[in-house]
Structure 1
Amino acid sequence: MLSLIEAKFVRALCYHALVQLFAKPYTLDNGASKGIPLRLQAETNQDNNNIPSSTVAEIYTQILADLNDAEQGLVEEQGTNNTIRAHKNTAIALKTRVLLAMGRYEDVITEGNKIVSAAAPFSAPTGVNHALQGNVVNVFRTYNTTESILSFPMAEINPPGTQNQLGFCYNQGSGNMEYTLNAAGAGIFANTTAWPATDARRASLTADQTNGSLKLLTKWAGVSPFIDWVPVIRYSEILLNVAEAEAEAGSLTRATALLQAVRSRSDAGYTFTGLTTSESVVNAILLERRIELLGEGFRVPDLQRRNDPINSVGAGESVPVTDSRYVFPIPTAERSSNNEI
């Protein structure tokens, strides 16, 4: 059973996901855009259905308030439940993601330094000793590693169509395969220069379909009943969050060291070269995020927080940040029950 302080963490996690889906990026206008309704009390009847949308800035203010409270009130460790229950480092880790989405790079560095050591090998100096795993495959097979800051565990009562759709959508053994990797054009899988065959993430976490015509992501490789855990926050993301913030702030040496640490875990012989400007380092980090976090739900949020267009492969066009299609519309059911949204 969640404590009140854990509930604040969960509220922050959920509101950040919602504001990314249904509102324009904070960085577009410093959060002045219309956001979503901010409900801060339990609803026991229909009296308070009608609540207008708060601004994006107001939503982010609440998210950070909840995470600051969570950091202060959560325990240092959750024992055997460190991966599935929030602790202090979980709140700090999520803050780096939220602050990065706000473009507050110095604050990302400040928070990140609480759980990322000053030099390699990078790890969390206090609380749960988060660190990269030596073998990236282990993160998606054993689940309870120190790299897994927060994951959603699954059981047979969570079949595809409810909480866990990952294995069902990706796995060739299911006979479904709703999603495969884009192996041509701008797809990251096609970039064999930035992502060579020597990288364990390509060699061990992707596969050819039986007939070789499709490229599969095998991070979630379990078969029915599809109980692979869903990674929500991993330590590699935090290293890349801090790296990007450092690069934006002009600290290229540490930014590159963090970037190299993530790459070297999967490809020990690869060395980044030519990273002499903030722009070149940031671009390398953004590319690394596409590789490291592939299939984990970061691609579109990463485009949005930087106000970049979203490429629509099927429609053959790019959707700019000013387009109404850039985010999802408020669902009809919500608009039907809330007249002020």
Structure 2
Amino acid sequence: MKKIFKSIVVVALLMNFSCADDYLDTIPTDAVSASSVFTSTQNAMTALNGIHRMLLLRFDSQGQAAEGAVMIMRDVMSEDLVMTTQGNGWYVSFSRWQNHNLETSGDSRFVWRYYYRVIGNANMILAGIDAAEGPQEEKDEITGQALAYRAWAHFNLVQLYGERYDAAGGNTQLGVPIVLEPITEGGARNTVEEVYAQINADLDAAIGLLDESRNAKSHLNINVAKGIKARVAATQGNYSLAATLANEAREGYSLMSQDALYDGFNNVDNEEWIWGSHQVDDQQTYFASYFAYMSLNFSSTNIRNNPKAISSKLYDMISDTDARKGLWDPNASDPDLRDPYIDEMTLSSFAKIDYMNRKFIAQGNASSVGDVPYMRTAEMILLEAESLARSGNDAAAADVLFELASARDDAYTKTTNTGAALIEEIMVQRRIELWGEGFRFYDLKRLNLPLDRTGSNHVESVINGKFTEPAGTNNWQWQIPIDELNANENMVQNPS
């Protein structure tokens, strides 16, 4: 891992600590040394803002736009997001379950490096914050956010590169190296159990330091930390805790209206968003953007030729009275039947393919600017409902599910399903609601479910015939990048 940490820098923004607008809406200008960052809490907050910004940054290629790119990678590996054509090639290899299995893959290297860079910068902050001049409450806020980021990044890494957590116990299988210092020498892989123990320790400490306040939704507060811990608890099969934390995470956040569903999922000011990245208009990332690959309307080669679609199988599960059904057009290829909005928002040169999405809308045909959602009230409601149902509390789970489903579908009546049927109903609602937001691969892995794309509109030539993958195979673990293996004599590769 030493190559990851050799050149860790803290991205600096010219900002005013007390003003959220100045704090977020300035252009990153330089890298600053740790010695100057930790002279004050104001400078330390600048370093923390570098992590916030990192979630939107382009790495080595246009398809490596930090968190948005990893979200796409995870979803194209699932059954619910359909790559309608090969387009210009971006993410096709992931849809075929090939790229993540190559230790020489530049994309796997990017993902590994990206999350460890978040960890490295968080560790620099944690190592220096005590010496900074400033109020203790500011030190607590900075420390809490850095701890939450470190936990979140380790959580993503262990889900991708480690074996799934087994709630039955043991979990001595290899996870990823735990890194708690800004070091330059790589260590051995910790067990999955050890990684999750550290994730929970960091989140507990963060929750103890944070409150509901923050400068902007791109920052982490106690709601975000509890939401992350709810995800962790569900992944570990601790459903009672997951239900409690998911409920607490959404306190103070309401569901968006049915009309707002059609606003483009591009505005962090949406009342339902708990956490998301805000992209400033004059910080255009062009083709290195989540919306350059997922939106309906940005005029990139990828969007024009390869509009992202929903699985027809999942689409057919959506009630006709559900407001979300209009987020995809099953008749897009037919000019007489297609949603007029598809034509209104796209140029004549855009491909119109059945089941294509209109969920994500970029700022314009020439602008891929858009805020990226990482945590929403709807996710927390569904996680709470799922966790209650898996805990055997069917009545409470049905009540929580009704809160979301009735807001999306005026005709929805409270379910009478129980047991496995109730869990399945909740999971279908989760797949519909969170389509394209990066959750499905993680859900399949944590629940030890197979990939099954059969009977749907997946294109055989696009996915290279990859319609199925049994649960629990070695293919669910990403290969450790060759650069890490070469740099770290303690590193062990995953079986292929």
Q: Which residue number corresponds to residue 447 of structure 2?
A: 306
1:180 aligns to what? Answer: 308
Tell me the alpha carbon deviations over residues 127-180 of structure 1, each in whole angstroms, 9 at most, x when there is no partner: xx1121223425824421332111012235352554x22343443442422452
CA distance, structure 1, for counterparts of residue 204 and residue 147 of structure 2:
10
SS at match of 2:356: strand
Q: Which one of the candidate residues 214, 226, 239 is aligned to 1:78?
A: 214
Structure 2 match to 1:59: 195
What do residues 16-49 of structure 1 show as CA deviations (whole Å, max 9, x unaligned)? 1111111111027643221011111002xx4x13
- Matched with 2:172 is 32
Could you say if the C-alpha distance between residues 101 and 171 of structure 1 is closer, same or farther in structure 2, counting changes exceeding 3 Å? same
For residue 410 of structure 2, give the secondary structure of its aligned residue in structure 1: coil
Query: Runs of 5+ in structure 1 lacking a partner?
Result: 117-123
CA drift at 1:66: 1.0
2: CA distance between counterparts of 1:161 and 1:19?
29
Separation in 1 of the partners of 2:164 and 2:325?
A: 31
For 2:377 and 2:222, how far apart are their aligned partners in 1? Answer: 14
The one-character-per-residue Cα deviations of 1:53-77 (angstroms, maximum 9, x if unpaired) are 0111111111111111111101321
Query: SS where residue 34 of structure 1 aligns?
Result: coil
What's the CA shift for 1:323?
1.4
Contact kept, 8 Å, 2:402 with 2:415, in 1: the verdict is no
Distance 2:293 2:245 in 1: 36
Q: CA 1:170–1:29 in structure 2 vs 1: closer, same or farther (change >3 Å)?
A: farther
Q: Deviation of residue 244 (structure 1)?
A: 0.8
Q: Could you tell me which of 320, 323, 328 is aligned with 1:197?
A: 320
Q: Does the alignment pair 1:281 with 2:422?
A: yes
Alpha-carbon deviation of 1:334? 1.6
Return closer, same or farther for 1:215/1:317 CA change in 2, 3 Å cut-off: closer
1:120 corresponds to? none
Percent identity at matched positions? 27
Amino acid in the other structure paired with 1:311: D
1:146 corresponds to: 271
Name the residue aligned to 1:100. 234
**Correspondence list, 1:1-341, <5 A:** 1=45, 2=48, 3-27=142-166, 30=169, 31-43=171-183, 46=184, 48-49=185-186, 51-78=187-214, 81=216, 83-115=217-249, 124=251, 129-135=252-258, 136-137=260-261, 138=263, 140-155=265-280, 156-157=282-283, 159-160=285-286, 162=288, 164-174=289-299, 175-177=301-303, 178-184=306-312, 187-189=313-315, 191=316, 194-203=317-326, 205-207=327-329, 208=332, 212-222=352-362, 223=364, 224-275=366-417, 277-311=418-452, 314=463, 315-341=465-491
Report the TM-score, using the length of structure 1 for normalisation. Answer: 0.85
The change in CA–CA distance for 1:77 and 1:112 in structure 2 (over 3 A counts) is same
Q: Does the Cα contact within 8 Å between 1:52 and 1:340 map onto a contact in 2?
A: yes
**Relative to 1, partners in 2 of residues 1:179 and 1:11: Cα closer, same or farther, differing over 3 Å?**
farther
Rate the CA distance shift 1:8–1:158 in 2: closer, same or farther, 3 A. farther
Distance in 2 (CA, whole Å) between partners of 1:102 and 1:139 is: 33
1:19 and 1:59 in contact (8 A); partners too:
yes
* Distance (whole Å) between structure 1 residues aligned to residue 204 and residue 485 of structure 2: 32
Aligned equivalents of 1:66 and 1:179: distance in 2? 39
For residue 274 of structure 2, give the secondary structure of its aligned residue in structure 1. strand
Give the distance between the partners of 2:398 and 2:430, measured in 1 at CA: 14
Tell me if the contact between 2:452 and 2:469 (Cα under 8 Å) persists in the aligned partners.
yes
8 Å contact from structure 2 (residues 148, 225) kept in 1 = yes
Find the structure with the greater CA-based Rg.
2
SS at match of 1:150: strand
Tell me the equivalent position of 2:129.
none
Q: Give the structure, 1 or 2, with the largest relative contact order (CA under 8 Å, sep 6 or more).
A: 2
Output the CA distance in 2 between the equivalents of 1:4 and 1:28: 30
**C-alpha contact (below 8 Å) 2:298/2:368 kept by paired residues:** no
Matched-pair contact (CA < 8 Å) for 2:279–2:371: yes
Contact 2:230 2:246 in 1 (8 A): yes
Q: Is contact 1:311–1:318 with CA below 8 Å preserved after alignment?
A: yes
Give structure 2 stretches of 5+ with no counterpart: 1-44, 49-141, 333-341, 344-350, 492-496
Provide the aligned C-alpha RMSD in A.
2.3
Q: CA deviation at 1:183?
A: 4.4
